Amino acid sequence: MSLRRLLAIARKEALQLSRDSRSMALAFAMPLLLLAIFGYAISWDIRDIRTAVWDQDLSADSRELLDAFRASGYFSFVTTVSSAAEVRRLLDRAEVRLVLVVPPAFAEDLGAGRTAAVQALVDGSDANTATIVLAYARAVVQEHSSKLRVAGETVRPPLTADARVWYNEELESKNMIVPGLVAVIMMIIGAMLTSLTIAREWERGTMEQLAATPVTRLEVVLGKLLPYVVIGMTDVAVISLAGIFLFDVPFRGNPILLAILSFFFLLGAAGLGVFLSAAARSQLLATQMAMMATYLPALLLSGFMFAISVMPKPLQLVTYLVPARYFLVVTRGIFLKGVGVEVLRTEGLLMIAFAVAGVTLAVHEFRKEIG
């Protein structure tokens, strides 16, 4: 293997890439676009839940309870209702997500030492949000309930849970999304962009020229990978820095370990892309295959947005084949948990195996023979 020939191929690929505006757009605009959308626009954090109140009791006790809801910061009272038809109308039109109903005997029950009930009607069509809304409501009621004095005594529940959240103390979804985004974006850069490289040579007829040069298969493959690995590493750095400084995502681990493991993951993804490119010999087919084989699984089956533990068993087995799944353990581990090699040993070895497998597949599939 000659380093000079390898670098010559890399230089040619980088030049070609820098003149291809749409690939460059995909390489740099896409990560920023994704970061902006995931960082600023969307989240699963539920605040300001639009709530309607139907206070049938209108007592000091019921007002205190409703104040506790308001003070929690999660609920924003948008309207009061006074009939079941209004409740129906508001939920049908999705104008509110939650309706709190305080029944007429609320204060009376409380005063008599009976358990007073509050009703929470939640729009269940978005089950995810509804589950979280109900969890908040329950917490407010419990908290308020424990402060109440019944017959001059506070009624402390016999057993309380002292809950603490680790790694992501405020339970913010951006802390889970940004480290995951590193993995998804690397799949886009690594596999989708490289899936064009060899197929382009075939489509444009420059494969004959490449075949006529003295470069070996390994030199071609590594030379073609190199510019994309550089772009990918730049993207990792940009996203990580933006995540840390713009979005206040904690970074508790070792940046060098992240860089090393990212490099191997990127090498594997890029190798996979070149493999698909060499196998498909058509840019359109290769990108579509790359999307099906790398990008969609990384997005949907890696645990990036949807927890793997929640999936049914057969699908869980499929996720073991998704390299991004392991890389996600690495990024979240380093960003949020601050763990090192001692915990990430298995994942690290898998990243190296992925890199070796990706490059081997690419070299194996890439042929210089024409016809």
Q: Does 105 bind another protein (CB under 8 A)?
A: no
Near another protein by CB under 8 A: residue from 3, 83, 158, 369: 158
Q: Does 157 bind another protein (CB under 8 A)?
A: yes
Closest separation between CB of residue 110 and another protein, Å?
Answer: 6
Q: Does 72 bind another protein (CB under 8 A)?
A: no
Site for another protein in 278-297 (CB under 8 A): 283-285, 287-288, 292, 296
How far is C-alpha 25 from the geometric centre of its chain's CA atoms?
Answer: 22
Query: For residue 279, with 0-12 CB atoms within 10 Å meaning exposed, 13-18 middle and 19 or more buried, which class applies?
Result: middle
Site for another protein in 231-250 (CB under 8 A): none
Q: Does 117 bind another protein (CB under 8 A)?
A: yes
Per-residue contact string for residues 18-37; x = within reach of another protein by CB under 8 A = ----x--xx--xx--xx--x
Near another protein by CB under 8 A: residue from 14, 343, 352, 356: 343
The strand pair at 49-55 and 98-102 is best described as parallel
Near another protein by CB under 8 A: residue from 1, 3, 165, 256: 165
Q: Which of 72, 332, 318, 346 is nearest to 176 (CA)?
A: 332
Near another protein by CB under 8 A: residue from 1, 309, 321, 369: 309
The strand pair at 149-150 and 98-102 is best described as unpaired
Q: Which of 164, 185, 220, 200 is nearest to 302 (CA)?
A: 185
Q: Which of 18, 2, 369 is nearest to 193 (CA)?
A: 18
Closest separation between CB of residue 83 and another protein, Å?
Answer: 16
Q: Does 6 bind another protein (CB under 8 A)?
A: no
Near another protein by CB under 8 A: residue from 104, 124, 245, 317: 124
Q: Does 311 bind another protein (CB under 8 A)?
A: yes
Nearer to another protein (CB atom), residue 65 or residue 236: 65
**Distances in whole angstroms, Cα of residue 102 to Cα of each of 56, 132, 214, 265:** 6, 21, 83, 55
> In residues, how long is the chain?
371
Query: For residue 8, with 0-12 CB atoms within 10 Å meaning exposed, 13-18 middle and 19 or more buried, which class applies?
Result: middle
Total chain residues near another protein (CB under 8 A)? 102
